[in-house]
């Protein structure tokens, strides 16, 4: 009884698995997730390096005083300069949002997502960039006027790094804790990478590499809402810019 025997639908042989992995939709999903994770990790770093320009230097205090006399507050001054110095990064986020929204609209690579999911992920990236820029601007502002190009980025790097790697840093404590789930969910709430992956319905903590670095995936937890995380980062940005604006305002009035 010769002839070709058809493969069952649930075949798990190596060849069928390879075909499944290399399907265009699967590859597009992987590229989308990898692209947005890289964007979340890298763009705020550049934002932190550019943000000190939002604080007027000492040789710019005369121009800043003229703006203050015209009724421009210190907060508005810092906010306007911060947006101006971050225009290239804002353009990168916008282009990424347009690209992946078009890809999702045309090819539907996200099995459980939609174009709204892609937009939400870029909102998270934008909020993280604003938070890093705000922290950098605040830390670089000097009470007597002027700015520091080293202290601001260093503070923002620390803030951004802790928000991403905090879960790995407390792993030893998680091993000993009786109920670490609230702590895990609190850390995930301020983790921009998991927030982006949550938008894309990607279970980041169950990836083999991450699973090998932390015990958190073994507990029964739920990922926090990505837009809640974005709101927290936006709040950090607003507070930082407001305080930096007050510092600039006092320096200008002296």
Instruction: Please tell me the pTM assigned to this model.
Output: 0.87
Rg (alpha carbons) of the chain, rounded to whole number: 23
**pLDDT tens for the chain, residues 1 to 254:** 444 434 344 444 434 444 444 467 778 888 999 999 999 999 999 999 999 999 999 888 888 889 888 899 999 999 999 999 999 999 999 999 999 999 999 888 887 778 999 999 999 999 999 999 999 999 999 988 899 999 999 999 999 999 999 999 998 888 888 888 999 999 999 999 999 999 998 888 878 888 788 888 888 888 999 999 999 999 999 999 999 999 999 988 87
Pair of tokens at residue 155:
């503070």
Instruction: For residue 194, give the H/E element and its range.
Output: helix 192-199
Helix 115-140 / helix 192-199 crossing angle, nearest 10 deg: 160
**Rounded Cα–Cα distance for residues 204 and 192 (Å):** 12
Residue 53: the pLDDT is: 95
Query: Both tokens of residue 16?
Result: 């069928």
Give the C-alpha distances (Å, rounded to integers) separating 168 from 22, 164, 205.
31, 9, 11
| DSSP letter (8 states) at residue 181 | H
Distance between terminal CA atoms of the chain?
A: 97
């Amino acid at each position: 009884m010769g002839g070709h025997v058809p493969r069952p639908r649930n075949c798990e042989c190596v060849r069928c698995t390879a075909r499944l992995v290399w399907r265009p939709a699967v590859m597009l999903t992987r590229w989308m997730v990898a692209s947005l994770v890289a964007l979340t990790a890298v763009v705020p770093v550049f934002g932190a390096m550019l943000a000190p320009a939002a604080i007027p230097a000492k040789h710019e205090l005369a121009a800043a005083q003229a703006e203050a006399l015209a009724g421009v507050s210190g907060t508005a001054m810092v906010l306007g300069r911060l947006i101006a110095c971050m225009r290239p990064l804002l353009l990168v986020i916008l282009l990424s949002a347009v690209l992946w929204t078009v890809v999702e609209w045309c090819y539907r690579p996200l099995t459980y997502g939609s174009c709204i999911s892609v937009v939400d992920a870029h909102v998270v990236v934008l909020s993280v960039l604003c938070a890093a820029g705000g922290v950098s601007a605040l830390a670089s502002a000097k009470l007597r006027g002027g700015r520091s190009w080293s202290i601001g980025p260093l503070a923002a790097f620390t803030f951004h790094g802790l928000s991403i790697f905090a879960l790995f840093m407390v792993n030893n404590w998680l091993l000993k804790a009786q109920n670490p789930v609230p702590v895990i969910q609190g850390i995930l709430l301020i983790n921009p990478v998991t927030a982006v992956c949550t938008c894309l319905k990607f279970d980041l903590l169950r990836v083999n590499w991450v699973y090998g670095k932390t015990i958190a995936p073994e507990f029964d937890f739920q990922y926090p809402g990505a837009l809640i995380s974005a709101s927290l980062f936006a709040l950090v940005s607003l507070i930082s810019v407001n305080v930096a604006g007050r510092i600039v305002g006092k320096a200008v009035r002296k």
